[in-house]
Amino acid sequence: MNAATARSSQTKSFSTIFLIEMWERFGYYGMQALIVYYMVQRLGFADERATLVWGAAAALIYVAPAIGGWVGDKILGTRRTMLLGAVILAIGYGLMVVPGESVWFLFCALGVVVVGNGLFKANAGNLVRKIYEGDDSKIDSAFTIYYMAVNLGAMISQLLTPWLKDYVNAQYGNELGWHVAFAVCAIGLVFGLANYSLMRKAMSHIGSDPDARPLDWGKLGMVLGLGVVAVFASAYILEHQGVARAFVYIAAITVVGIFGWLIATGQRGERAGLIAALVLVVQTMFYFIFYQQMSTSLSLFALRNIDPAFNVFGNHLWDWSPAQFQAFNPIWIFILSPILAWVYAVAGRNKKDLSIAGKFALGFVIVAAGFFIYGAAGHFADASGKVSSWLMVWGYGAISLGELLVSALGLAMIARYVPARMGGFMMGAYYVASGVSQYLGGVVATYASVPQDITEPLQTLPIYTSLFNRLGIAALVCALIAIAVLPLRKRLSATHSAEAVLGHSAAGGDMPSMAAEEQAMRRPQS
């Protein structure tokens, strides 16, 4: 195969994964935009229960890929497991289409989503790595474009599904809009699978070792059987918040234990990198607590205290559904990612680029600014307690910029500091840690839970602004902590680099090329 043919094959393979990832994220973020509203408005959940349930569901969704990646690598094959996950996800969203008010049925549907996401997410990303394996010059740009698929799917669905829900409810009543919107999420996966079927030849040579062998139906049956058990286990966890808390605590202890064990048993030259990775994971976990507010406290704030009308100089432009405000996150990511990449490039050429630790500190300061914008809402509210939609625009802009500075570099830095032989294991630990903080974010959101007998915007406004101001202060504390550990991070990084040089010199090899730290602006994905 000549170079031109190889490049063409890579492009076709990547396009196939790009499109199925886009449609999968379309379904997931479309569901996420509505799920808290659905529990509060349709099922009558109190705010506290809705935010805790979604926090627990998000935690499970993040934890599941740690297992799904292993299934792909060792049991079914990366490619097959990704496809199986997409099918199961479509079934999960399809179950949410069924009209009814059964809470247990909803939890089972979310359990199916947990299993499907676990099988899909880790393996889709692994396939991108396998497509460009050994080509460091292309893998960074590939993941950057791949990340665009995430945000493109999120943006379209978070604008479409809330509008569709409102339109169908207004036209046909009977709360059908909710289920039509969830149906669209399922249809997105069907589109993704159909496209994959048309382009499957481009992926025939990509995958793990089990993909190259005939399908073992016994192993498939075992995975499906354990998946059914996982569905009901997830539903049970969502139903019982005490169990959810215990699950989160066990997961957190497990992550710390993994790091401790690896640091204690790892080679001398690896320990500095592992400790640096642990510091990074802890800092990123703090960010996810703030991130989770977008689908919980900020969503309910938009429902109760944001004027849906966009006006400029007294001229009405359009109205948005409360759930649509979540789309500002991917919109801002699209706008800011290329700008930030350009700034990094210019700063690097002039040798004035901030260290990663410095970017973390700056990111938390900007996140704090975003929540202080929301905390100041009381000063800009009208007589009824409603606040201009533009406040959401600028608040989301600050939080999204903070995301790019903090969480977007997380996986890249794990890859930098952790030895290759531990890479898959540590990526799983990173996702587990992220899941823990997603639940903690739901717990934090409960501090703005509005009693069900309070309905007036003037009454709900101070409840939300109090939480947002406290979150702003917490983000500043995180920034100070990031600044305080700067010397430690620099020392660990220097030690890690020195040990790496010595190790490769002893082995008689050349230093491997290191991917740019700002390799791919990645959303913290499930």
What are the structural domain ranges in the chain? Answer: 14-239
For residue 318, the cross-strand partners are: 310
pLDDT one-digit tens code per residue, 62-100: 888 888 888 888 888 888 899 999 999 999 999 999 887
Please give the Cα distance from 46 to 50 (Å, whole number).
6
User: Are the C-beta atoms of residues 442 and 292 closer than 8 Å to each other?
Assistant: yes
Which CATH number is 14-239 given? 1.20.1250.20
All residues at 6 or more sequence positions from 366 whose CB lies less than 8 Å from its CB, including other chains: 398, 399, 401, 402, 405
Q: Does the global pTM surpass 0.75? A: yes
User: Angle of helix 47-74 relative to helix 297-305, nearest 10 degrees?
Assistant: 140
Average pLDDT, the chain: 83
Q: What is the pLDDT along the chain (526 residues), one digit of tens a residue?
A: 555 555 557 778 888 888 888 899 899 999 999 999 999 999 999 999 999 999 999 999 988 888 888 888 888 888 889 999 999 999 999 999 988 788 999 999 999 999 999 999 878 877 877 777 666 556 656 666 777 778 888 899 999 999 999 999 989 877 889 999 999 999 999 998 998 888 878 777 777 788 888 888 999 999 999 999 999 999 999 999 899 989 888 888 887 887 788 777 767 667 777 777 777 778 778 888 999 999 999 999 999 999 988 888 888 888 899 999 999 999 998 888 888 878 877 877 787 777 777 788 888 999 999 999 999 998 888 889 999 999 999 999 999 998 888 765 665 566 566 665 566 566 667 778 888 888 999 999 999 888 888 889 999 999 999 999 999 999 999 999 888 877 766 676 666 566 655 554 544 444 343 333 334 444 444 4
Both tokens assigned to 25: 């994220």
Q: What backbone torsions phi and psi does residue 458 show, to the nearest 5 degrees?
A: -65, -25
Contacts 24+ apart (CB under 8 A), 210-215: 210/74, 210/75, 210/76, 210/77, 210/80, 211/77, 211/78, 211/79, 211/80, 212/77, 213/77, 215/76, 215/80
Both tokens assigned to 391: 């406040």
Please give the Cα distance from 451 to 46 (Å, whole number).
7
All residues at 6 or more sequence positions from 116 whose CB lies less than 8 Å from its CB, including other chains: 85, 86, 87, 88, 89, 90, 91, 92
